[in-house]
Amino acid sequence: MSIANNNIKVLVVDDSALMRKMIPMIISTDERIQVVGTAMDGEYALKKIESLQPDVITLDVDMPRMDGLAALKVIVRDFGIPVILVSSITKKGAATALKGLELGAFDFVTKPNDAISLHISEIACELIEKIKAAAGCRMPKIPKPSSAGFKQPQQKPVLPNSPAEIVVAVGISTGGPQALAEILPSIPGDFPAGIVIVQHMPEGFTEFFAKRLDASCQIRVAEAGNGSLISPGTAFIAPGGSHLRVKKSSFGLVTVLSKSPPVSGHRPSVSVLFNSVAEEIGRGAIGVIMTGMGDDGVEGLARIKANGGIALAQDEETSVIYGMPRVAVERGCVDTVLGLHDIVPEILNIVDRRSAKAASLLSA
């Protein structure tokens, strides 16, 4: 996307007159952002797009007449403009935001319930950062799902509740929900390793996200708790607002949650997870850093590689934002760079080789 005069033109869509005043006010504090217009609902927004030609649209999801999801479908189909959803921090808001990501939204921010108290200013930095990222993004050239939404798979296989010897640790941010919904369903239910995931997402959203993934996957997917056993064929997602670590116990590897300060500006932080995986698992670790802004996870991925594990990164072509993987590649802490749909086959190959090697050592 080419941004004229280095300015990012933004159209703000919200049915609240207060929000139509406050959002432009807070994002215009950045000299690169120019709010070119506002609209009170989806219908007005669609009428203004051609004349205003915005580079990015912020879109409320709950509006009369034409709501955010209905407008999003048209914007994605007819205009290809990056959309940042503005969602309430409720179960309904979480469901709608995740549905919006499935439909092609770039990302979302959560709207404070009490905007009149000026708490809206708390999201200013996040919204400005995501507007800039959206304006500079190149949508990935990856195959679209054959039909929208999550599919219910066949019944999951019954696996022994035994500890995993190999653990795949995934760090992902902007573009992550779409990417995970693409690749996790391709992992077989009898996958002989455990999976732990940090997806940058607010508190209250990750539980719902994990349940939606679980419904579409052959493996089991759940939000991590304190002391959850990391077993084969199971993926745990870090809860929003909590760091996720792994730790050896008498039962095997378990998950540990904490509210310690944010790392790299995030809680959960990918680096916190990766560092613990490197220390506790060593050669049995596979680290995967995927689409997202910034450099969270890079330090931890380097430690996984240094401790004998395998370090993988998503490529630029299929990343919504080639930030975290790019930094990892530039710092030389990646073994292999892969397209989105090559990541799972590579993981399966690595796990098969390591499982076969372990079996041969036991029989020797």
Q: How far is CA 129 from the centre of its chain?
A: 15
Question: Are the C-beta atoms of 34 and 10 separated by less than 8 Å?
Answer: yes
H helix or E strand, kind and range, residue 245: strand 243-249
Q: How many Cα atoms occupy the beta-carbon half-sphere of 251 within 13 Å?
A: 11
- According to DSSP, the residues that pair with 84 across neighbouring strands are 58, 107
Report the alpha-carbon distance of residue 8 to residue 135 in Å, rounded: 7
Q: Locate all alpha helices (DSSP H) within 81-227, ordered by sequence.
A: 91-102, 124-135, 176-183, 206-216
Question: Are the C-beta atoms of 123 and 111 separated by less than 8 Å?
Answer: yes
Question: Are the C-beta atoms of 105 and 83 separated by less than 8 Å?
Answer: yes
Residues with a catalytic annotation lie at: 173, 200, 296
Report the alpha-carbon distance of residue 162 to residue 74 in Å, rounded: 48
Report the alpha-carbon distance of residue 200 to residue 197 in Å, rounded: 10
